[in-house]
Structure 1
Amino acid sequence: MVRGFPGSKYNRNKIIIILIFIALMSFLIFLYFYLDETQNVEYGQFPQITSSDRILIVSPHPDDESLANSGLIRAALRANATVLVIMMTNGDATPINVTDYVQKTNRTDFNGSIGDLRHLETIEAMSQLGLNQSRIIFLGYPDGALSYLFGSNWDYNNLYKGSNSANEYDHSPYNFSYESNAPYCGANVDKNLEQIIRSYKPTMILYPDDGDEHPDHWATSAFIRYAAIKTGYSGPTYCYLVHKGSWPSPLQFQPQSTLEAPDDLLQLDANWLMLNITQDDENKKEKAINSHATQISLMKNYLLSFVRTDEIFANYPVILIQQVTNNPDFSDGMPLSSFNDLKYDSKTSLLLPSTDLAGAGFVYDDNNAYLLLKTSGNINPNLVYDLHLRVYNGTDFKRIDLKVKDGNAQYELKANNSIQSTEKIDFQIQNNILIVKIPLKLFKGANILLMSADIKDDQKNKLDDMSWRIFKFPPEFIVNSMLL
């Protein structure tokens, strides 16, 4: 028997009503700010494609290239431009029993895995758009694991082993992979991407939006930015979106409707562009998407909701790092060299705003670098705040991973290229901003860095993370830092 004070049932009901009221008001405030910030958004026109363009499209899985880029591929081929598609994975985590599927669809001529089947579907999809099989590169990395390869499984001595029945290997098992037996680690992914970029010499690269909710898309975005920096690529890059809640809206086949970005993404600093596509190209896009028959069998309405009168792309600016006065004060908020994260995108953000990342920034003074992390609520000492940097000196990347937990901050050695330092890390908390100070000499000779962050609970469950954004040091820093 549950015991309680007299009237406890009434008190519980009253508390429940109050909590519901608070949640409703939070949602209405959240909705108000979304509507206020997105009601006047204007899309620019996607640049005209010419015969001199060499377009590189990087797709995490078979079907992403069709969903987000079919119209662009058609426009490029019509302009006699060159197109190359890179498939990061073969989608081998698809929850389909291949034997049952083959029997059900009368594919009696097929003998292989789900990864083999999706490979064939991609070739068929691209043929519907007029793109030859020779213009598709399959890297063969594990579906659902690209974020591990960019993070914890970077080195060759720490390979990732596939965890689904179709791929339980630590290397690519596919005979059509770009690199035979490609080892499953981030360093090898980067090697492959660098080789392709240097050889192909693209004039335009398209890859997933870093606001995409699928971890493979998030990681592909990071890999491309990393490889583009190392190869010295200086051309335009455009991001496309596939996974974002119940987007596209509505989730059904509406070929006469326009495709528009989700409201929360429009709050960020991207420049959004629209590519109008012809009726004929729209029809071909529908055929290309339907060619991914395994996926159509699982989520037809969702896939066909991408057949619209346009395709949209985002261009994110490089952030110029700001120099500040010594011992800076951040009581007025984040510095200019910072970027915002999607609002209330963590699973617990409405009830626990401290679990929602709102922004990150990087500045420096004469002696130190300052890494800033902003949350929607006050910083919670019971959570784990991770800050990640990839620092480029013109030749190689070095890695800095910092963890703030239980009132302590420490360096983490996650890869062979991790920077080791014995110096104590200083940090302070100003309401909802965490400020971590580390020696500026760690950035000697650096000209560019990638920055990201995440929040975990005490069980190491990730609650929220941020995209990898590119920061650039000013020219005077690059010269002066050599004296550090």
Structure 2
Amino acid sequence: MKKLFFFCIIFFITVSCFAQKQEASFPLIPDFTKNDRILIFAPHPDDESIGTAGVIQKALDAGAGVWVCCYTNGDANQLAFIMYEKRFTFRKGEFLHMGSVRKKETLDALKFLGVGADRVFFLGYPDFGTMRIMLKHWGNTKPYKSLFTRVSKVPYKENLSWGSPYTGESILRDVKAVFLDVKPTKIFVSHPADTNGDHQSLYLFLRVALWDLEARLKAPQIYPYLVHCARWPEPRGFYPDMALMPPEWFMNFQIHWMSLVLSAEEINKKNQAFDFYKSQIPYNPRYLHTFARSNELFGDYPVLKLKDSSPARVDWQESFGPEAIIKEKDRDKDNVFLFYAKSEGKLYIKLSLSRKITKGVTSSIYLLPYSRNTDFADMPKIRLAITRTRLRAYDKKNRVFISHAKMSIVDNDSILIEFPLASLNFPDYILSRARIHTDAVASDLSAWRVLELE
């Protein structure tokens, strides 16, 4: 028993020292100034403190302006509700009550950190539903109806978006309104590789809103922060001397990580801010405090620039490799790679495995094109459903036939897709993601990438 205790102590000290040593190798976020206007987007109430409580403190100390925008009211966390209220219910009013509780918790936490309620926006879009809105609810499609609150428009009267239908047009309009109000120089937003759909969709809406406002708004710097990722961060609990490091499979693949080093006082204040989120603590008491580390971490994937190339010599751009796999059963059995290229009016997509593709391999590829010449609401929202023998295409909720779209198996370990750019209205950008499942690996390759077509 003594030997085991001694080993555990040595292991903890080694891990702590290693983490701090690695942190020093990351570039630091530039210092804030009094001319900065900081806008923090939080998918749910508490994400603003998880990802950026240190940012808030340092920016305010520098004299910068700080604003926070909460995307949802976080009204769909049923497990947290049960633990907090100590009762079980599926009544619509109780979910809305939880949304109001979480809003107040966030306002109290931000007041403690130094941000007044007059600089906090609440939109109130559906918790656990915004990705479906991005992918399917545009144009003539009916507004999304929340599985939990069972409403199809923003129900919170005090929110900026009260009464807005749950559609892509509503969210995009409101995100742009916040941008034009704040005119930010720096934006902190959820990460495109986060495993939570609301976190992913907020990043996507932000990208589209900024493209729409290119002529009216000076381009701000964007700093994505990660919250949800399998088995991360570890260990759980308050360890103020440990650094927050990227998940191991993100360490060496394309993401340009940057760090914000916090003082002991800033760490403690961040940790104290978590205590205001009383509804979220009972069901996972140590989780929030895990993010009160010696630094905060930010990073994004670079834009993949697709230049026109010859069909005989395709210029492939790698989107991710094995380091980007989020969920898996056995890392040693399969590695998955995704590549994009552009040639003669076609988008080429290649999915490669480290073994033969069998009937057990299925995948979905999402293509959300953006054009400066067409309203984003009118652009297709494509999902390609792929098996070894079949390629099917869907635009929002409807199956569609795409002329000249082709799929083939190459060398028994790769799927090659040719997709006509005319079917995407010859976009300037494409937001894309792949999800792949095999009989050996359950992979959720949830990192959305920005493709720029040159």
| TM-score calculated relative to the size of structure 1 | 0.78
Mapped to 2, the partners of 1:99 and 1:408 lie a distance apart of: 44
Which residue, out of 213, 220, 223, partners 1:235?
A: 220
How many equivalent pairs are there?
421
Mapped to 1, the partners of 2:248 and 2:438 lie a distance apart of: 28
Tell whether 2:340 aligns with 1:362. Answer: yes
The verdict on how the C-alpha distance between 1:52 and 1:375 changes in structure 2, with shifts beyond 3 A counting, is: farther
Cα drift, residue 267 of structure 1: 2.5
Map of 1:374 onto structure 2: 352
Identify unmatched segments of 5+ residues in structure 2.
1-17, 88-93
Q: Which amino acid aligns with 1:249?
A: E
The verdict on how the C-alpha distance between 1:426 and 1:344 changes in structure 2, with shifts beyond 3 A counting, is: closer
Cα drift, residue 411 of structure 1: 2.6
The verdict on how the C-alpha distance between 1:463 and 1:337 changes in structure 2, with shifts beyond 3 A counting, is: closer
Map of 2:408 onto structure 1: 427
Mapped to 2, the partners of 1:287 and 1:72 lie a distance apart of: 15
Q: Which amino acid aligns with 2:403?
A: T
| Residues 158-181 of structure 1, C-alpha deviations (whole Å, 9 max, x = no match) | 3222222xx121112111221121
**What secondary structure is seen at the aligned counterpart in 1 of 2:200?**
helix
Counterpart contact for 1:52–1:81, Cα < 8 Å: yes
Tell whether 2:128 aligns with 1:144. Answer: yes
Q: Which amino acid aligns with 2:297?
A: I
Counterpart contact for 1:56–1:85, Cα < 8 Å: yes
Mapped to 2, the partners of 1:156 and 1:285 lie a distance apart of: 44
Q: Which amino acid aligns with 1:188?
A: S
**What secondary structure is seen at the aligned counterpart in 1 of 2:251?**
helix
Q: Which amino acid aligns with 2:310?
A: T
Tell whether 2:26 aligns with 1:46. Answer: no
Map of 1:214 onto structure 2: 196
Mapped to 2, the partners of 1:323 and 1:369 lie a distance apart of: 10
Which residue, out of 264, 286, 293, partners 1:308?
A: 293
Cα drift, residue 251 of structure 1: 0.5
The verdict on how the C-alpha distance between 1:195 and 1:242 changes in structure 2, with shifts beyond 3 A counting, is: same
Map of 2:205 onto structure 1: 223
Q: Which amino acid aligns with 1:66?
A: S
The verdict on how the C-alpha distance between 1:103 and 1:392 changes in structure 2, with shifts beyond 3 A counting, is: closer
The verdict on how the C-alpha distance between 1:373 and 1:98 changes in structure 2, with shifts beyond 3 A counting, is: closer
Cα drift, residue 284 of structure 1: 1.8
Cα drift, residue 122 of structure 1: 0.3
| Residues 114-148 of structure 1, C-alpha deviations (whole Å, 9 max, x = no match) | 11100100000001100001111111112122222
Task: Specify the structure having the higher radius of gyration (Cα).
Answer: 1
Mapped to 1, the partners of 2:230 and 2:426 lie a distance apart of: 41
| Residues 20-72 of structure 1, C-alpha deviations (whole Å, 9 max, x = no match) | xxxxxxxxxxxxxxx9xx98992001111111111111111111110110000
Mapped to 1, the partners of 2:313 and 2:196 lie a distance apart of: 37
Q: Which amino acid aligns with 1:281?
A: E
**What secondary structure is seen at the aligned counterpart in 2 of 1:116?**
helix
Map of 1:72 onto structure 2: 55
Mapped to 2, the partners of 1:100 and 1:444 lie a distance apart of: 49
Mapped to 2, the partners of 1:224 and 1:375 lie a distance apart of: 32
Map of 2:5 onto structure 1: none
Q: Which amino acid aligns with 2:38?
A: I
Which residue, out of 111, 114, 122, partners 1:127?
A: 111
Q: Which amino acid aligns with 2:430?
A: L
Counterpart contact for 1:409–1:427, Cα < 8 Å: no
| Residues 380-416 of structure 1, C-alpha deviations (whole Å, 9 max, x = no match) | 3444322221222213332333232351223322169
Mapped to 2, the partners of 1:281 and 1:337 lie a distance apart of: 39
Counterpart contact for 2:388–2:409, Cα < 8 Å: no
Tell whether 2:299 aligns with 1:321. Answer: no
Mapped to 2, the partners of 1:456 and 1:250 lie a distance apart of: 29
Mapped to 2, the partners of 1:112 and 1:82 lie a distance apart of: 31
| TM-score calculated relative to the size of structure 2 | 0.83
The verdict on how the C-alpha distance between 1:409 and 1:327 changes in structure 2, with shifts beyond 3 A counting, is: farther
- The 10-residue stretch of structure 1 (210-219 or 174-183) with the greater mean CA deviation from structure 2: 210-219
